[in-house]
Amino acid sequence: MGQQEKVATSLAGAVGEEISASLAPVDAELERRYPGDPGTRQPVHTVYVPGDVFAVGTIRSWGDRALAALDEHAPDAASFAAVLGLADDLAEPVYTRVRAKLEREPVEDLRIDFEDGYGNRTDAEEDEAAARAARLVAEAYEQGTAAPCMGIRMKCMEAPVRARGIRTLDVFLSGLMEAGGLPDGLVLTLPKVTYPEQVTAMVRLLEAFEKARGLTPGRIGFEIQIETSQSILAADGTATVARMIQAAEGRATGLHYGTFDYSACLGVSAAHQASDHPAADHAKAVMQVAAAGTGVRVSDGSTNVLPVGPTAQVHDAWRLHYGLTRRALARAYYQGWDMHPGHIPTRYAAVFAFYREGFEQAAARLARYANRAGGDVMDEPATAKALSGYLLRGLDCGALDIGEVARLTGLTRADLEGFSGPRRGDLTASAQ
């Protein structure tokens, strides 16, 4: 046994205590502002349906129309893989999972739209549509036919439509309460936000509703839609979106990029308005950095190129949508908008291929890290967090099965969540 090293110090214990005391406000601020990801399931997409179109069979109809599109334009794994350029070993597992997903859970997140997709109607007409939406959503959750996440997009907080948006939200939420209460999957979207004060107004509105209905304070959260230049850069040069997250007082659940409104706001011509335009990349990069660590998730926008018409035209639209979705996933935008039933086969194909093609490598790396077995990549706790998060997202959407994950990693879902959940200083402890 070797000679024990002599340990020498120079600082009195009081020095560390004084430093800790001086940093206590910073510790509290870090905990408040950057709590980390909530660890709940994030849907891979959001489907928008106008308030007057939404019906009891809407979700099933989207799934059936998507399956019909596959039957007509890519009736087997080989033909679908040829359209999208899928590797041979991915063709069958991706296609099989896509069809199963469309049969079981075609829509992960549905937003009943009372804004652009609905337009301006008479007050009586919008009141009726909002009340009907509440009834149908409540019935869907009661009958087990709801999407995991459902809610509405109200009109914005700008003066011309503010009162109408507030009333629609009140009618919808009140209808849910009358039908038995707010579902766990409830999601609300506040569009066209330009100033943090509009976010604060939404917070005050929800506080008033919670008080009126005897709900737990903070029960209702909402997404902030980023679709104006002012939501990215304020007049004083600061990043408005970061201030909006703080203005939400812990209620913000997501930042959703609005492809076409934002592009138009910057003067991008219609032919070049797309989610991969440099202006879109800049906006989403700012959103991503502002949201990092806050627990607020970022969603990409949509494409307006619809997979309709003759087969060649559908294939072109599928390739475009697949490519944009894969591009977004590589940039850590794990959610996007889908505007047509024909988009969801390629949404799921892109998502499933993304997780399946990297699955074995991620599983092997995480297993080596968990077992301290070494390997050709030296991973750190933060990388273990990313690897486990990748596997959990693959499990949540149906790209991966828990059996195959357990077989290659030797880990349970609880183990994965243990690696994925802690933040900052706690990460080292989780690796011990």
pLDDT in tens, 296-339: 999 999 999 999 999 999 999 999 999 999 999 999 999 999 99
- Residue, of 425 and 51, whose pLDDT is higher: 51
pLDDT band at 373 (very low <50, low <70, confident <90, very high): low
Q: If you average pLDDT over every residue of the chain, what do you get?
A: 93
Task: Give the percent of the chain with pLDDT over 70.
Answer: 95
pLDDT of residue 308: 97
Q: How large is the average pLDDT for residues 53-80?
A: 97
pLDDT at residue 427 in the model: 34
Tokens 């939400």 belong to 248
Tokens of 22: 């001086």
pLDDT for residue 379 is more than 70: no
pLDDT at 424: 46
pLDDT of residue 2: 66
Give the pLDDT of residue 372.
Answer: 76
pLDDT class for 377, splitting at 50, 70, 90? low
Domain ranges of the chain: 45-357, 359-430
Output the six-digit token pair for 209: 């509703």
pLDDT at 349 over 90: yes
> Going along 109-155, which residue ranges are E strands?
109-113, 149-153
Rounded to an integer, what distance in angstroms lies between the CA atom of residue 163 and that of residue 4?
A: 75
DSSP string, 184-198: TTEEEEE-S--SHHH
| Res. 366: pLDDT tops 80 | yes
Give the rounded percent of residues in the chain with a pLDDT score beyond 90: 91
Q: Measure the CA–CA gap between 357 and 375, rounded to whole angstroms.
A: 20
pLDDT for res 381: 82
| pLDDT computed for residue 425 by the predictor | 46
Q: What is the mean pLDDT of residues 357-373?
A: 89
pLDDT at 374: 55
Q: Is 106 left (phi over 0), alpha (psi -120 to 50) or beta?
A: alpha
Q: Which of 73-87, 206-220, 304-318, 379-393 has the lowest mean pLDDT?
A: 379-393
**pLDDT value, residue 382:** 84
H-state helical runs in 236-380: 240-247, 259-265, 278-291, 311-330, 344-357, 359-371
**What is the H or E stretch that residue 347 is in?**
helix 344-357
For residue 257, what are the β-bridge partners?
226
Q: State yes or no: pLDDT of 251 exceeds 80.
A: yes
Cβ contacts of residue 324 below 8 Å, gap of 6+?
274, 275, 276, 303, 336
- pLDDT tier for residue 35 given thresholds of 50, 70 and 90: very high
Q: Cβ(114)–Cβ(148) under 8 Å?
A: no
Type and span of the H or E element at 224: strand 222-226
Q: What is the DSSP letter of 339?
A: -
Instruction: Determine the topology of domain 45-357 in CATH.
Output: TIM Barrel (3.20.20)
Dump pLDDT digits (tens) for 201-219. Answer: 999 999 999 999 999 999 9
- Global pTM value: 0.92
Taking residues 93-114, report their average pLDDT.
Answer: 98
What pLDDT shows up at residue 376?
53
pLDDT tens digits, residue range 147-201? 999 999 999 999 999 999 999 999 999 999 999 999 999 999 999 999 999 999 9
